[in-house]
Amino acid sequence: MAWLVTGGAGYIGSHIVRAFEAVGIRAVVLDDLSSGHREFVGPQTPYVEGSILDTDLVTRTLREHEVTGVVHLAGYKYAGVSVERPLHTYTQNVTGTVTLLEAMAAAGVGNIVFSSSAATYGNPDVENVTEQTPTAPQSPYGETKLIGEWLIRDQAVATGLRFTALRYFNVVGSGAGDLYDSSPHNLFPKVFEDLLEGRTPTLFGIDYPTPDGTTVRDYVHVQDLAEGHVAAARRLESGAAIEPVYNLGSGSGSSVREIMDTMREVTGIDFSPTIGARRAGDPARIVASGELAGRDLGWAPQRDLRDMVESAWQARRGSVQDA
């Protein structure tokens, strides 16, 4: 018995692989290294380099490793850039999911945990997003994630596939010193890069209707997120009832100013962020409720903002020293 993790050499995927292995579940990684890192996959973990668009490769991998379930993360995940590259985004995220589902059907694999996104909600006009909040994606990326959910749901109707989709917002932190977020588009690595290069980070807007005037977002430690995927996989394999969608959210959130203040304390680098204009389309507050995941998966965030910043900083500094 094994679980295939597509995109398992990436920041989130590599944490999920290790979380599976920590509880005795064998994991197999499929990744084309378009954004992942080969060194994120341990020597004991079976690794297949290739694309989910390669139906024969995916089918062969599922069969050879006797895979019983898939955690599907592989795809193009940059929401902003997806506006400039819609066809690429749809090919990777929609066609790729179709190909994976075809391979799973051919190999008789009956369980899937889909890495979805809070981008499916767009910019909801509610303080706490629940699974009942209407979806209204605002980017090709968000659209492809919602379509991925639909594809899996429809395949489940046709074949009896057991599935769930996990939607989450901002994933940060590190669960191991050798795993770090290398995305050039995410807040934590962008601020750390500024600090390491001697630049001043920027706050985009300080006049929002929030306690300190800066936007509030839901941040979840990557290790908490990885453990949520393990819980979902176990519930699928147990045969217990499971919802089609769960939010993995804190229910509270943190402001960008709070994050900057914590970064100043943790890094020991004294800085006052530059104040920039609001970015178009940025809502004041988006926070997700994780109550449903708590009820069914026994999941709740265990790590706070300081844990997130400290672990992310340690991992990022380690990557710089190793470079």
d(C-alpha 118, C-alpha 139), whole Å = 12
Write out the two tokens for 76. Answer: 């193009």
Longest dimension (CA), the chain: 58
In the annotation, is 78 catalytic?
A: no
Query: Mind giving me the DSSP string for 183-196?
Result: -TTSHHHHHHHHHH
d(C-alpha 62, C-alpha 185), whole Å = 32
d(C-alpha 103, C-alpha 60), whole Å = 8
Range list of β-strands (E), the chain:
2-6, 27-31, 47-49, 67-72, 111-115, 128-129, 162-167, 170-172, 202-204, 216-217, 219-221, 245-247, 254-255, 274-276, 285-288
Task: Name the β-bridge partners of 167.
Answer: 247
Range list of β-strands (E), 135-181:
162-167, 170-172
Catalytic residue among 141, 208, 219, 246: 141
> Which residues form the catalytic set?
141
